[in-house]
Structure 1
């Protein structure tokens, strides 16, 4: 009987370790979305966090100072920021915004 009692916590620990590993680690998933907005020029990149990898759908922005900001996917600020970063990714770095081709 005592072996069964010891086996249950072990199985729970293994299950939890596997689920965190499958999510890419809790540190890589946004657990909460805050209303933080950052100036577009301070954003460096973004990626979309989706299920089932992480429990919360979010857009994760990275700033030029390597800070992570978790944003609501359907908010106007989020969509504007994603479009801005996508446009900058397509534009060659040697051209400024005001350059005429």
Structure 2
């Protein structure tokens, strides 16, 4: 009799333990496992994103996306990385409408 009562409870507990584990694994994204020590040329990079515990990754990193859609991981505390981020932010801020050159004024001969 006790076995009839215990078996459904064990099955229910097992189902509850397995169900959330599936949700966690589907949430994982591509995370950087280590940061590159090399300098990343600014001409290669088109965008960046930040990763860390808030995004489900253990390592804090700046993930640069190159023009060829490759991902490069870098340390967010590296001064060269911070400079590259500032350069990208400046470019993003000025990338609204395309700039037109002002028409050249003709010089008058005297």
TM-score normalized by structure 2? 0.64
Structure 2 CA distance for partners of 1:55 and 1:20, relative to 1, 3 Å? farther
Question: Bigger radius of gyration, 1 or 2?
Answer: 2
Structure 2 CA distance for partners of 1:54 and 1:89, relative to 1, 3 Å? same
**Inter-partner Cα distance in structure 2 for 1:66 and 1:54:** 20
Once the two structures are TM-superposed, the CA of residue 19 in structure 1 deviates from its matched residue by: 3.2
**Inter-partner Cα distance in structure 2 for 1:58 and 1:20:** 21
User: Which consecutive residues of structure 1, in runs of 5 or more, have no partner in the other structure?
Assistant: none
User: Which consecutive residues of structure 2, in runs of 5 or more, have no partner in the other structure?
Assistant: 1-9, 103-110
Give 2:91's aligned residue: 88
SS of equivalent residue, structure 2 residue 25: helix
TM-score normalized by structure 1? 0.68
- RMSD (Å) for aligned C-alpha atoms: 2.9
